Structure 1
């Protein structure tokens, strides 16, 4: 396969200098083909190649060539905030060439006009979709889009947003990147792009099936070879073999509980560890502030043995320590849920897919097989460039009989074709609302909607039903957004969420307590979902000291109702300053769950407050504003002003308040007292932050 020497690349010398500093002296076959197909001339491309094949550099070369031709601005889009941060750090290299790099994610109710100062902006699909509704001048001037992890278009939850972004982005210069698009010709045609599809990997992948037979394990590889393993537990036997050969392992399990249980089993293995490096990592773990003490103690014990579990129940701080420890090869094994496969760059020599089945949350007790695409995403993590000559991925099955079928389905077959996920009312009506914020006639709405991947007749039907529903519920007058509709579009919440809020607060008095408001917001499509056992559901009813707006006696009880009630009670405890460890234990959730709930409810209480304002429901508006001010920091009302000072959270705020420091002005007027309570360095920093907040200079 063709390889281009960096010196022969037709780009400015300054670019080559920075690439050489990274250790890049030539382009690999995938990168070379992209250049050959017109990457540097601004050709629209859809690139499908395995994980680790250098797609980020391709994007960088595309964006740099575009900007250095004197074009306007480039936007790089990712599906996850963690990836956004990772790419932002990588792209900062190019500021040496005078290219200003910016980043934005979250906070959907803004046009981020400050980004007009930047040449290259990194963001998420949701943030970009929301920005288009605000129509900032800087975005209208942007004419190059990189759509990373483009296979998310096939995701039931995120897909509609990715498709909406792609419809707008494909009117400009475009580069779409993915590891798994089996119908790349069809998708490239839709994007008006040139398809580039390759299976080249910098580290070849060997795939196999791991079978437990008569208390012994055997790996059957797709190339016809096999390998016997000693021991009755195939995952433990395989993991020990790889680690003791100098490799690292990612073990994927189908639930948090299974990931944690597997980690504790692996802990008992005799892994080769560097004790001094582990001590440093354990010290960092101890300093993590956004985690529960029970989680930290468990992870400290595991990491001391070279293993850690990783899932969304862990706080961001804990996940970052684990990921960094694995990248530095201190942690040898991570047991994780499949969400890790779609996250940050974290390769290992070997990947173990411990389960091909998962529970279907919609059908109680029903297990379904994972998709081929999910397997490809997991197996794609195998093989560390620079460390391994070969990556290895194995699927664990219960018996030899299953081995052939599983190999045929997952190893020998391509992933499922990418299809539109706009084909449901909730997704399509949100899509329509976004279009309506940017056009002025029904013909224009139809024209844009017909650019989706959906069948044209289905689109026509959805447009007719959707416009009627949006008009009936007060979002549109004709095709023009009402004041209510405009606010919903700008807030970037789903129309069904807005209708729940509007109908509930319009029909109820404001005499209800915070639990009622939290429960209402948690019943919306934009709310998070938590697991609730049957017994727990009954207990939750007893714990609620005031009734929700919706009475369960009216037939609304069920999994959604109890999930919302559990979230409401968690939030009630949170804003009443109940200790975090107590909340995690009481409701059996992780610190990551709590952060996710708080972050989402911060947004939803703000949205509720804004909608109450538009609807002129002043009593509800006042209550929702008050709840919004308390949710983000988890404080009682008297601490709201104090925690506005950066660095003063719920614990420090309560300590200061109880010692007579009750507002930012008190911090500025009593610097010595603040330093005595919080320590010299921290106290000094917080005094300066309070002065900055008040607009003064010390």
Structure 2
């Protein structure tokens, strides 16, 4: 089937500039590709076209950082690929399983943790993977998720499958491509232009001037007043803040609901109340918010609640605003007319510090719905004393480079045990050889300090009796193998056993 026919069957009239560039630069012929482009620029279609290429006759895996994103992509891919005869499966939970039922699917959507678990369990169908698509690959820079993703990508390189990595716009994308020996496709294309403003509690400052706005109510009111059908996302730091602010915004959003939208919101609210059978306090809070055209969204809401919010915001568009945590910025498709970042600082355990410019770019990239808006508006909120720094850092500044997060010993404990228990590495030489193929090794060159950490971690695993050394060989004990399969931190597992 020719590309034009594939596009028509997928519901596209033509390729956008990024997609044209990607096809012209080898998307459908190169074995390894890194695409670095802004949020909402059309990278998902590149993944679909790669899966549909005639040369891709084996299974494909699509790796994402979050369960919510996996659920969204699974639904999207089922709709897009089943007309082509492709079956699409999903696996995000139960890390103690090789999930052999996934062998029946042509395309499998997984989280990076689940992919690592499947590799540890030696799932027999893994050998049939011909293409791995890694979405949000810039998550390599994330303190909590980056190391696992790096291990997974290093293992996928060893499988010899084709690799397509999709990333936000990052300055050192070339470094990522060089590590993977991949072709880099770099673009700054956005389907709608982005207009950034900074609100200091008195005014919003744009390039073109300033307008009065004191708080979130004023900003949401401005967003929804701009045009008929406008919608807003408000990003905050914590779940509690998301729920509290959504409740406060009810009196603002209810004034923008038509009679029909009020009826649609009432129906959503009733269903949200019954989402878990027996209503919880969260169910009641979400139901109250939905009645007035606003919702909250964070990692603690259940799948049924998430589906109702998505229906109200994306399909019926009666939900005018969502107050959310930054999990919504990780690739989940919730575009809005305006995106308001209320919390630009985050507590790091000692003091509050500004969040990375890359994260802010990901968040504000949600602004501007191609089908509805001729521009997107991103608003960054701060104290008056921080206004100039915020402008320098986020409006005129560039996103940070991404760096490997593989070197810390707590991270290495689990992954060294996983490598040994799955027989990927059976002595220090093969362990060091594995880490020589990582992004860490590519970035820093000298991995002597990393190898020193690996040695200390293996000695600890031997003390815990999760690993034993026989001559030069390293072998996981039955308990050590089980700990690795259960995806438990070895120190925590030892404490459980000792208890």
TM-score (norm 1): 0.66
Distance in 2 between residues matched to 1:480 and 1:186, nearest whole Å: 35
Mean alpha-carbon deviation: is it higher for 241-250 or for 344-353? 241-250
Q: Please, which of 425, 437, 441 is the counterpart of residue 451 of structure 1?
A: 437
**Structure 2: how far apart are the matches of 1:258 and 1:354?**
10
Range that drifts further, 378-387 or 92-101: 92-101
Match of 2:490 among 487, 495, 519: 495
Deviation at 1:70, TM superposition (A): 5.7
Please list, as runs of the form range in 1=range in 2, the aligned pairs for 1:516-665 lying within 5 A after superposition: none
Flag as ranges the 4+ runs of structure 1 deviating above 6 A: none
Please say if residues 61 and 131 of structure 2, whose CA atoms lie closer than 8 Å, have aligned partners that are also in contact: yes
CA offset digits 1:253-290 (Å, max 9, x no partner): 22333333332332222324322222322232233116
Match of 2:73 in 1: 87
Structure 2: gaps (5+ residues) = none
Question: In structure 1, how many angstroms separate the alpha carbons of the residues matched to 2:240 and 2:57?
Answer: 51
Q: CA deviation at 1:198?
A: 1.3
**What's 1:393 paired with?**
378
Which residue of 1 is the match for residue 232 of structure 2? Answer: 249
Within 1, Cα distance between the matches of 2:279 and 2:330? Answer: 25
The aligned counterpart of 2:282 is 295
Deviations 1:546-578 (A, max 9, x none): xxxxxxxxxxxxxxxxxxxxxxxxxxxxxxxxx
Higher-helix-fraction structure: 1
The aligned counterpart of 2:411 is 427
Match status 1:461 vs 2:452 = yes
Task: Return the alpha-carbon distance in structure 1 between the equivalents of residues 249 and 123 of structure 2.
Answer: 52
Q: 1:194 is matched with which residue?
A: 183
Which of 166, 170, 178 is the matching residue for 2:167?
Answer: 178
CA deviation map 1:145-198 (0-9, x unaligned): 110011111111111110101111234311101114321111111111112221
* Contact 2:22–2:185 under 8 Å retained in 1: yes
Question: Which among 238, 242, 260 is matched to residue 219 of structure 2?
Answer: 238
Match of 1:102 among 89, 110, 113: 89
The structural deviation recorded for 1:484 is 1.5
CA distance in 2, matches of 1:55, 1:170: 22
Q: 1:128 touches 1:165 (CA, 8 Å); kept in 2? A: yes
For the 8 Å contact 2:268–2:287, the answer to whether it is kept is no
> TM-score, normalized by length of structure 2?
0.91
Asked which structure has the greater CA Rg, the reply is 1
1:483–1:165: structure 2 CA closer, same or farther, 3 Å change rule? same
Match of 2:40 among 52, 56, 62: 52
2:333 is the alignment partner of 1:345:
yes
Is contact 1:450-1:459 (8 Å) kept?
Answer: no
User: Who is 2:133 aligned against?
Assistant: 146
Q: Distance in 2 between matches of 1:180 and 1:99?
A: 31
CA distance in structure 2 between the aligned counterparts of 1:291 and 1:310, rounded to whole angstroms:
20
**In the alignment, which of 105, 108, 130 is matched to residue 117 of structure 2?**
130
Q: 2:365 matched to 1:376?
A: no
1:409 and 1:486 mapped to 2: Cα distance?
46
Q: CA deviation at 1:204?
A: 1.2
Q: Distance between the aligned counterparts of 2:64 and 2:383, measured in 1?
A: 37
Give yes or no for contact 1:88–1:103 (8 Å, CA) kept in 2. Answer: yes
Contact 1:37 1:43 in 2 (8 A): no
Distance 2:343 2:143 in 1: 21
Pair 1:260 & 2:260 matched: no
The match for 1:72 among 36, 46, 58 is 58
Where structure 1 has 5 or more consecutive residues not aligned to the other structure, the ranges are 1-11, 505-698
- State the secondary structure of the residue aligned to 1:109: coil
Taking a change above 3 Å as real, the CA distance of residues 359 and 440 of structure 1, as seen in their structure-2 partners, is closer
Does 1:212 find its partner at 2:201? Answer: yes
How far, CA to CA, are the matches of 2:5 and 2:24 in structure 1?
A: 22
- Paired residue total: 478
Distance 1:167 1:387, change over 3 A: same
The CA deviation string for residues 446-479 of structure 1, in whole angstroms up to 9 with x for no partner, is 1101222334122221122122112221121221
Identify which range, 272-281 or 33-42, moves more after superposition: 272-281
Relative CO higher for 1 or 2, CA cutoff 8 Å, sep ≥ 6? Answer: 2
For residues 404 and 410 of structure 2, the distance between their equivalents in structure 1, rounded to whole angstroms, comes to 14
Give how far 1:44 is off.
Answer: 0.9
The offset of 1:21, in angstroms, is 4.5
